[in-house]
Protein backbone atom coordinates (compact mmCIF):
# COMPACT_ATOMS: atom_id res chain seq x y z
CA UNK A 1 0.00 0.00 0.00
CA UNK A 2 1.08 3.51 -0.70
CA UNK A 3 0.89 5.91 2.23
CA UNK A 4 1.10 8.88 -0.16
CA UNK A 5 -2.21 8.03 -1.86
CA UNK A 6 -5.56 8.81 -0.24
CA UNK A 7 -8.19 6.13 0.26
CA UNK A 8 -11.10 6.52 -2.18
CA UNK A 9 -14.37 5.07 -0.86
CA UNK A 10 -16.51 3.26 -3.39
CA UNK A 11 -20.25 2.68 -3.51
CA UNK A 12 -20.80 -1.08 -3.57
CA UNK A 13 -23.97 -3.13 -4.11
CA UNK A 14 -24.38 -6.62 -2.63
CA UNK A 15 -26.57 -9.26 -4.23
CA UNK A 16 -27.21 -12.66 -2.68
CA UNK A 17 -28.28 -15.30 -5.18
CA UNK A 18 -30.49 -17.82 -3.40
CA UNK A 19 -33.82 -19.56 -3.51
CA UNK A 20 -33.78 -20.10 0.26
CA UNK A 21 -31.99 -17.23 2.02
CA UNK A 22 -33.82 -14.31 3.58
CA UNK A 23 -32.64 -11.08 5.20
CA UNK A 24 -32.75 -12.93 8.53
CA UNK A 25 -30.33 -15.73 7.53
CA UNK A 26 -28.18 -14.22 4.79
CA UNK A 27 -24.86 -14.62 6.60
CA UNK A 28 -22.84 -14.37 3.38
CA UNK A 29 -24.42 -11.06 2.43
CA UNK A 30 -23.97 -9.88 6.02
CA UNK A 31 -20.26 -10.77 5.88
CA UNK A 32 -19.73 -8.86 2.63
CA UNK A 33 -21.57 -5.77 3.90
CA UNK A 34 -19.59 -5.78 7.15
CA UNK A 35 -16.31 -6.20 5.27
CA UNK A 36 -16.91 -3.44 2.74
CA UNK A 37 -18.07 -1.02 5.43
CA UNK A 38 -15.12 -1.89 7.69
CA UNK A 39 -12.81 -1.14 4.75
CA UNK A 40 -14.35 2.35 4.43
CA UNK A 41 -16.65 1.78 1.46
CA UNK A 42 -20.39 2.55 1.33
CA UNK A 43 -23.19 0.07 0.81
CA UNK A 44 -25.17 1.36 -2.19
CA UNK A 45 -27.93 -1.24 -1.99
CA UNK A 46 -28.47 -4.85 -1.07
CA UNK A 47 -30.95 -7.45 -2.24
CA UNK A 48 -31.61 -11.17 -2.48
CA UNK A 49 -32.63 -12.59 -5.86
CA UNK A 50 -33.61 -16.16 -6.62
CA UNK A 51 -31.26 -18.10 -8.85
CA UNK A 52 -32.76 -17.14 -12.20
CA UNK A 53 -30.63 -15.91 -15.10
CA UNK A 54 -33.04 -13.20 -16.19
CA UNK A 55 -33.86 -11.86 -12.73
CA UNK A 56 -30.14 -11.67 -11.94
CA UNK A 57 -29.38 -9.86 -15.18
CA UNK A 58 -32.25 -7.42 -14.64
CA UNK A 59 -31.06 -6.38 -11.17
CA UNK A 60 -27.38 -6.16 -12.06
CA UNK A 61 -28.12 -4.35 -15.34
CA UNK A 62 -29.89 -1.60 -13.37
CA UNK A 63 -26.90 -1.34 -11.05
CA UNK A 64 -24.31 -1.14 -13.82
CA UNK A 65 -26.37 1.57 -15.50
CA UNK A 66 -26.21 3.61 -12.27
CA UNK A 67 -23.07 5.79 -12.31
CA UNK A 68 -23.29 5.97 -8.51
CA UNK A 69 -22.54 2.25 -8.09
CA UNK A 70 -18.88 1.37 -8.61
CA UNK A 71 -18.85 -2.34 -7.78
CA UNK A 72 -21.22 -5.26 -7.32
CA UNK A 73 -20.52 -8.23 -5.07
CA UNK A 74 -22.62 -11.31 -5.84
CA UNK A 75 -22.63 -14.32 -3.55
CA UNK A 76 -24.13 -17.65 -4.56
CA UNK A 77 -25.09 -19.53 -7.69
CA UNK A 78 -21.51 -20.28 -8.79
CA UNK A 79 -21.57 -24.07 -8.34
CA UNK A 80 -22.64 -26.89 -10.64
CA UNK A 81 -26.15 -27.72 -9.50
CA UNK A 82 -29.03 -27.29 -11.93
CA UNK A 83 -30.04 -24.06 -10.15
CA UNK A 84 -26.56 -22.45 -10.20
CA UNK A 85 -26.68 -19.85 -12.96
CA UNK A 86 -24.65 -16.85 -11.79
CA UNK A 87 -21.84 -17.29 -14.37
CA UNK A 88 -24.34 -17.73 -17.21
CA UNK A 89 -26.25 -14.65 -16.03
CA UNK A 90 -23.26 -12.36 -15.51
CA UNK A 91 -20.68 -13.27 -18.17
CA UNK A 92 -22.74 -11.84 -21.10
CA UNK A 93 -22.94 -8.49 -19.28
CA UNK A 94 -19.16 -8.11 -19.00
CA UNK A 95 -17.33 -5.71 -21.28
CA UNK A 96 -14.12 -7.32 -20.03
CA UNK A 97 -13.56 -10.49 -18.04
CA UNK A 98 -11.13 -10.49 -15.12
CA UNK A 99 -9.85 -14.03 -15.71
CA UNK A 100 -7.28 -13.80 -12.92
CA UNK A 101 -9.96 -13.42 -10.26
CA UNK A 102 -11.45 -16.90 -10.65
CA UNK A 103 -8.03 -18.44 -11.11
CA UNK A 104 -6.64 -16.81 -7.97
CA UNK A 105 -9.78 -17.53 -5.94
CA UNK A 106 -9.56 -21.24 -6.73
CA UNK A 107 -5.83 -21.28 -5.98
CA UNK A 108 -6.38 -19.69 -2.56
CA UNK A 109 -9.43 -21.88 -1.88
CA UNK A 110 -7.42 -25.02 -2.53
CA UNK A 111 -5.57 -24.44 0.74
CA UNK A 112 -8.93 -24.21 2.55
CA UNK A 113 -11.13 -26.84 0.87
CA UNK A 114 -8.77 -28.93 -1.25
CA UNK A 115 -9.87 -30.27 -4.59
CA UNK A 116 -13.49 -29.25 -3.96
CA UNK A 117 -12.39 -25.85 -5.24
CA UNK A 118 -12.74 -27.13 -8.80
CA UNK A 119 -16.50 -26.93 -8.28
CA UNK A 120 -16.29 -23.16 -7.85
CA UNK A 121 -17.11 -21.10 -10.91
CA UNK A 122 -16.16 -17.81 -9.25
CA UNK A 123 -15.71 -15.07 -11.85
CA UNK A 124 -15.38 -11.33 -12.23
CA UNK A 125 -15.64 -8.71 -14.90
CA UNK A 126 -16.22 -5.09 -15.74
CA UNK A 127 -19.43 -3.73 -17.24
CA UNK A 128 -19.95 -0.04 -17.94
CA UNK A 129 -17.05 0.87 -15.61
CA UNK A 130 -18.63 -1.20 -12.82
CA UNK A 131 -16.71 -4.08 -11.25
CA UNK A 132 -18.65 -7.30 -10.74
CA UNK A 133 -17.29 -10.05 -8.47
CA UNK A 134 -19.19 -13.35 -8.28
CA UNK A 135 -18.24 -15.62 -5.39
CA UNK A 136 -19.64 -18.82 -3.90
CA UNK A 137 -22.50 -18.62 -1.44
CA UNK A 138 -20.72 -19.86 1.66
CA UNK A 139 -19.79 -17.26 4.24
CA UNK A 140 -16.25 -18.67 4.33
CA UNK A 141 -15.85 -18.25 0.57
CA UNK A 142 -17.10 -14.65 0.79
CA UNK A 143 -14.57 -13.87 3.51
CA UNK A 144 -11.77 -15.53 1.53
CA UNK A 145 -12.62 -13.61 -1.64
CA UNK A 146 -12.88 -10.28 0.18
CA UNK A 147 -9.90 -10.65 2.51
CA UNK A 148 -7.48 -12.25 0.07
CA UNK A 149 -8.36 -10.53 -3.23
CA UNK A 150 -11.19 -8.00 -3.47
CA UNK A 151 -10.29 -5.73 -0.53
CA UNK A 152 -6.88 -4.85 -1.99
CA UNK A 153 -8.18 -4.42 -5.51
CA UNK A 154 -10.81 -1.95 -4.26
CA UNK A 155 -8.25 0.04 -2.25
CA UNK A 156 -6.86 3.05 -4.14
CA UNK A 157 -3.64 2.82 -2.08
CA UNK A 158 -2.82 -0.75 -3.16
CA UNK A 159 0.24 -1.03 -5.39
CA UNK A 160 1.34 -1.78 -8.00
CA UNK A 161 -2.23 -1.56 -9.27
CA UNK A 162 -5.91 -1.66 -8.31
CA UNK A 163 -9.26 -1.13 -9.99
CA UNK A 164 -10.33 2.10 -8.28
CA UNK A 165 -9.23 4.64 -10.90
CA UNK A 166 -10.94 2.60 -13.58
CA UNK A 167 -14.34 2.82 -11.85
CA UNK A 168 -13.92 6.19 -10.15
CA UNK A 169 -11.42 8.31 -12.09
CA UNK A 170 -9.74 11.14 -10.23
CA UNK A 171 -9.54 13.43 -13.27
Predicted TM-score of the model (pTM)? 0.95
Please report the domains of the chain, with CATH numbers, ordered by start residue: 11-167 (3.40.980.10)
Q: How many C-beta atoms lie closer than 10 Å to residue 51's C-beta? A: 20
Q: CA-CA distance, 97 to 125, in Å (whole number)?
A: 4
From first to last of the 171 residues of the chain, give the pLDDT tens digit: 555 589 999 999 999 999 999 999 999 999 999 999 999 999 999 999 999 999 999 999 999 999 999 999 999 999 998 889 999 999 999 999 999 999 999 999 999 999 999 999 999 999 999 999 999 999 999 999 999 999 999 999 999 999 998 898 765
Residue 32 CB partners (closer than 8 Å, separation 6+): 14, 73, 75, 142, 146
Q: CA-CA distance, 48 to 56, in Å (whole number)?
A: 10
- Is cis: bond before 42, omega within 30 of 0? no
Q: How many C-beta atoms lie closer than 10 Å to residue 15's C-beta? A: 25
Label the pairing between strands 42-49 and 96-97. Answer: unpaired
Amino acid sequence: MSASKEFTPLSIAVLTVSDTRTEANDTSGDALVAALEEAGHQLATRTIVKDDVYQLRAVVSQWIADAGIHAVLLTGGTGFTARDSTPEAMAPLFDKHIEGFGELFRQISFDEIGTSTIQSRALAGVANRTLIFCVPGSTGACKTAWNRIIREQLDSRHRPCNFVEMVKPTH
